Homo-oligomer: A and B are copies of this chain.
Amino acid sequence: MPEKNPLRKLSPDELGRLSVEAYRAAPKLPLRLLLDNVRSRYNVGSLLRSADAFRVEKVYLSGYTPAPPHPEIHRSALGAEESVDWEACPDPLPLVEELRRTGWKVISLEHTTQSISLWDMEWLPPPWLLILGNELIGVQDALLAQSDMIVEIPQFGTKHSLNVAVAGGIILHEAVRRLMK
């Protein structure tokens, strides 16, 4: 490693992270997340934590996706449920239709006959609504039918898919890199 900066970990102050108040006032990316029928509070909390890191404008929690406040969500969100703008919405279909009418592009993460690899996809012009579905059965068919694009992460193993919080983190990271570069 180069010698000029002695190697040490950065303190929380040096990382320049925002306070909750500053975060709520700060500009967000044209990127929202819809978690539909995600069962695990751990996954919801972890996705809220990723949404905080990546300046997601809003997170919708639809169907039976658990919403804050809850100790298990808090434990994996580490408090990101306070900084991230989220909304519980029992039925996601009218929401998705309304967002599409106002120019949002709907991108679902799922293995289908029409899925495009995350490595090959051409991102549509933003704003983007990313949809993640249930841990076992994935994104429901009615939401797939409303999607402008369905994406899959290339995988080469024995399991059906990645954990939904990990897969969501990968696609969020990719989306944010596109938006910020």
Binding site for B on A (CB under 8 A): 1-2, 5-10, 12, 15, 17-20, 23, 42, 46, 49-50, 52-55, 76, 78-80, 83, 110-115, 119, 138, 141, 144-145, 147, 150, 153-163, 165-167, 169-170, 173, 176-177, 180-181
Contacts and interface: CB of A to CB of B under 8 A. Distances in A.
Given A46-B166, A138-B9, A159 B53 contact: yes
A8 B112 contact: yes
Given A163-B165, A177-B119, A17 B157 contact: yes
A115 B73 CA distance: 30
Given A55-B157, A157-B17, A162 B112 contact: no
B111 A17 contact: no
Contacts of A20: 158
A2 B158 contact: no
A147 B112 contact: no
Nearest to A45: B163
B7 A162 contact: no
9 contacts: A7-B150, A8-B112, A17-B160, A54-B157, A76-B163, A83-B157, A83-B158, A165-B165, A166-B166
B157 A113 contact: no
